[in-house]
Amino acid sequence: MPRPCGSAAVKLGGSLVTVKDRPYTVRGEALAGASRILAAYWRSGGRRLIVVHGGGSFGHYEVDTLRGELGARDLPAAAAPRIQGAMLRLAARVVEALRGAGLPASLHTTHTICECRECRYTPLLRDLGEGLVPVAYGDAVPCRGGLVIVSGDQLVVEAGLEAGVDCIVFTIDAPGVLDGEGRVIGELGPGDPVPRLGGAAHDVTGGLEAKVEWARRAAAGGARVYITGLGGLLKVLEGGRAGTRIVV
Ligand code: IP8
């Protein structure tokens, strides 16, 4: 018998909510669709929900552009505001879409809750306790003269585990993790190799391999974990199977 997720932390992948190879372009329909699904889930009986989104053609593109302009892979702290600005623009669109679907989305700017890669989730947990839907996103965080890019994957896992959610779901622009023949891998166990992808444009936080690594930590922390497309999101939140389940 499927057991619905009583609470969930959901990552909206940058590749899902933006056109990854077109700078600063939101995929409006996908974002609205995701927001409707999350609202339907949240309304269906006192669910607790955390939403995190990725950088897509806002954050990743801005990091890439800055690296090109400055001729360096490691960026100085002075470059952070431009990346933060790009992410804030996207976050505003995401929060607007979530609110448009009826969710009380409260935005948390990641660079203010993190010290280098150490993030503090108490403000999100406070809002969760108030019946709100806290939203955070991958961001640039100044760190000892330089900056680090904290991924939304890290945030959704750490915030989700700290909140003790039942399910942590990563949505991506594919129905799940695909094998070499383009078929969805139903379950990825601890020793299973992660297929290498042809390299999504402008991904500065490690792509699929890093995502699976974070997903494994989430599963090890006791959450039910899926990587799925938009089509499978409601199904997994309702306790069904779709996409790729990550098990440990
Ligand atoms: O897309 C990265 O977040 P992600 C955010 O979740 C930036 O890895 C600023 C590139």
Mutation to probe ligand 1, out of 73, 139, 211 (largest number of atoms < 8 A from CB): 139
CA of 131 to the centre of ligand 1 (A): 27
List CB contacts of 242: < 8 A, sequence separation 6 or more. Answer: 175, 176, 226, 228, 229, 231, 232, 233, 235, 236
pTM: 0.96
Q: Is any atom of ligand 1 closer than 6 Å to the C-beta of 55?
A: yes
Q: What architecture is the 7-246 domain classified under in CATH?
A: 3-Layer(aba) Sandwich (3.40)
Question: pLDDT band at 1, cuts 50/70/90?
Answer: low
pLDDT of residue 206: 77
pLDDT at 199: 45
Which residue's CA is the nearest one to ligand 1's atom 1? Answer: 54
- Every domain of the chain and the residues it spans: 7-246
Q: How confident is the model at residue 82 (pLDDT cuts 50, 70, 90)?
A: very high
Whole-number Å distance between alpha carbons of 67 and 112: 23
Query: pLDDT tens, 29-77?
Result: 999 999 999 999 999 976 899 999 999 999 999 999 999 999 999 999 9
Residue where the block lists tokens 């709100």: 132
In whole angstroms, give the CA distance from residue 187 to residue 179: 11
172-204 pLDDT, tens digit each: 999 999 998 999 999 999 989 988 764 454 577
Digit-coded pLDDT (tens) for 93-144: 999 999 999 999 999 999 999 999 999 999 999 999 999 999 999 999 999 9
- Do 151 and 178 meet the contact criterion of CB atoms below 8 Å apart? no
